[in-house]
């Protein structure tokens, strides 16, 4: 089995951060997406075997490095966040790592993602691992609060040690086509983030059309987003392949025009190893293997790791482990 694919780190020194660009209204007005063409293309993902069976275990190991291990529940506690961080420190049991021959490799999730309240706890629990803490700020999940409140929340998360900030946009700005307001707000969020990387959550399930999703993606990238992210996980419709295709194509277009590579984070409802492989195949086919690195791709997921661990064990032994052997939080 080739495990070359898991040899990556969370930082690529050659990667240029998005500096942000002026709002180009002409470009925004030229954006049009064709939903049925997107659906046809999305339906073909995973139909052909993109990942050969022998390589699947290596891809699943890689998938672990691309997860923002997440807990975003109203009943989260310090204890739950600490247990999640313990899982992040040891995402795979030693026995599985040994059997896979990867005991010496860095296989850790891309980040741990929590509410602002728990940033301090997570930073402390992850000390020494190099795993960044991502905070959902700006009145997650709806994004409806005075801008000053949202900016203060970002600043507080950064002060507590968050290295990544997942902001939510106001969906109403997109539905009204108020691109200037969206651009100005995301730009101010980016400024408040400072060195922390900013992921902009679009709430795609609430944006009505693929064209709106594409335009919102573009405006966020112009305003300085490091990542564009689909969903909070709280909308009725969360990440899916059609929307992913729309956003990935905007990332490609943006890279062609500006030379800047923006990250992509599908989030919400991605819970199985099979789902993960489909998203990875989509990235590989549309943007190339290069984009399958933690600084350019993340899964926002609360339960994906559990299934990946189960599938890895099944791949090794032919049996599924009992649930108690893979506790999450």
Ligand X SMILES: O=C[C@H](O)COP(=O)(O)O
Q: C-beta of 67: minimal distance to ligand X in Å?
A: 10
d(CA 66, CA 276): 10
Q: Which strands form 197-201's sheet, in the order they lie side by side?
A: 263-265, 227-229, 197-201, 164-168, 133-136, 111-115, 67-70, 299-301
φ and ψ at 201, to 5 degrees? -85, 125
φ and ψ at 115, to 5 degrees? -70, 155
Among 8, 18, 70, 311, binds ligand X (CB under 6 A): 70
Of the two residues 77 and 303, which places its CB atom closer to ligand X in the complex? 303
Of the two residues 31 and 164, which places its CB atom closer to ligand X in the complex? 164
Choices 6-14, 101-109, 190-198, 297-305; region in contact with ligand X by CB under 6 A: 297-305
CA 92 to chain centre: 20
Window 231 to 290, contacts with ligand X (CB under 6 A): 232-233, 267-270
Of the two residues 31 and 131, which places its CB atom closer to ligand X in the complex? 131
Among 45, 60, 61, 72, binds ligand X (CB under 6 A): 72
Catalytic site positions: 166, 229, 265
Among 64, 114, 281, 301, binds ligand X (CB under 6 A): 301
Among 65, 302, 306, 326, binds ligand X (CB under 6 A): 302
How many residues sit close enough to ligand X to count as binding (CB under 6 A)?
A: 13
d(CA 234, CA 188): 25
In the bound state, the residue with its beta carbon closest to ligand X is 233
Choices 56-64, 90-98, 272-280, 298-306; region in contact with ligand X by CB under 6 A: 298-306
Rule CB under 6 A: is residue 198 a binding residue for ligand X?
Answer: no
Q: C-beta of 84: minimal distance to ligand X in Å?
A: 12
d(CA 234, CA 232): 5
Return the axis-axis angle of helices 273-287 and 241-258, rounded to nearest 10°: 30
Q: C-beta of 134: minimal distance to ligand X in Å?
A: 9
Rule CB under 6 A: is residue 300 a binding residue for ligand X?
Answer: yes
Of the two residues 6 and 239, which places its CB atom closer to ligand X in the complex? 239
CA 91 to chain centre: 18
Binding mask 105-124 for ligand X (x = CB under 6 A): --------x-----------
Q: C-beta of 105: minimal distance to ligand X in Å?
A: 25
DSSP state of 297: B
DSSP 43-90: HHTTTS--S-HHHHHHHHHHHHHTEEEE---TT--HHHHHHHHHHHH-
The SS3 of residue 268 is: coil
d(CA 192, CA 153): 9
DSSP state of 323: G
The dihedral through the CA atoms of 98, 112, 295, 263 has a sign that is positive
Rule CB under 6 A: is residue 65 a binding residue for ligand X?
Answer: no
Of the two residues 245 and 304, which places its CB atom closer to ligand X in the complex? 304
Of the two residues 115 and 291, which places its CB atom closer to ligand X in the complex? 115
Q: C-beta of 269: minimal distance to ligand X in Å?
A: 5
Q: Which stretches of the chain bind ligand X, using CB under 6 A?
A: 70, 72, 113, 232-233, 267-270, 300-303
């Amino acid at each position: 089995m080739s495990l070359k694919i898991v040899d990556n780190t969370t930082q690529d020194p050659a990667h240029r951060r998005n500096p942000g660009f002026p709002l180009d209204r002409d470009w925004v007005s030229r954006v049009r997406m064709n939903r049925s063409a997107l659906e046809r293309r999305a339906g073909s993902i995973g139909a052909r075997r993109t990942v050969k069976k022998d390589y699947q275990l290596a891809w699943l190991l890689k998938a672990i490095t691309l997860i923002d291990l997440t807990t975003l529940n109203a009943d989260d506690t310090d204890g739950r966040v600490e247990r999640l961080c313990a899982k992040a420190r040891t995402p795979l049991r030693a026995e599985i790592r040994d059997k896979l021959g990867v005991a010496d490799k860095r296989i850790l999730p891309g980040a741990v993602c929590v509410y602002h309240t728990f940033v301090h706890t997570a930073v402390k629990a992850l000390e020494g691992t190099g795993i960044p803490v991502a905070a959902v700020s700006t009145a997650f999940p709806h994004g409806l609060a005075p801008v000053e409140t949202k900016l203060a929340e970002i600043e507080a998360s950064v002060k507590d040690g968050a290295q990544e900030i997942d902001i939510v946009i106001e969906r109403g700005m997109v539905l009204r086509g108020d691109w200037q307001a969206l651009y100005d707000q995301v730009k101010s969020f980016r400024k408040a983030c400072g060195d922390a990387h900013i992921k902009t959550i679009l709430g795609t399930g609430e944006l009505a059309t693929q064209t709106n999703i594409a335009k919102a993606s573009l405006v966020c990238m112009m305003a300085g987003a490091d990542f564009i992210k689909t969903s909070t996980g709280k909308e009725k419709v969360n990440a899916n392949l059609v929307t992913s295709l729309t956003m990935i194509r905007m990332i490609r277009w943006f890279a062609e025009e500006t030379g800047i590579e923006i990250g992509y984070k599908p989030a919400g409802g991605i819970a199985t190893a099979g789902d993960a492989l489909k998203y990875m195949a989509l990235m590989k086919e549309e943007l190339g293997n290069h984009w399958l690195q933690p600084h350019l791709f993340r899964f926002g997921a609360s339960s994906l790791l559990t299934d990946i661990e189960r599938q890895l064990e099944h791949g090794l032994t032919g049996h599924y482990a009992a649930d108690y052997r893979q506790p999450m939080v």
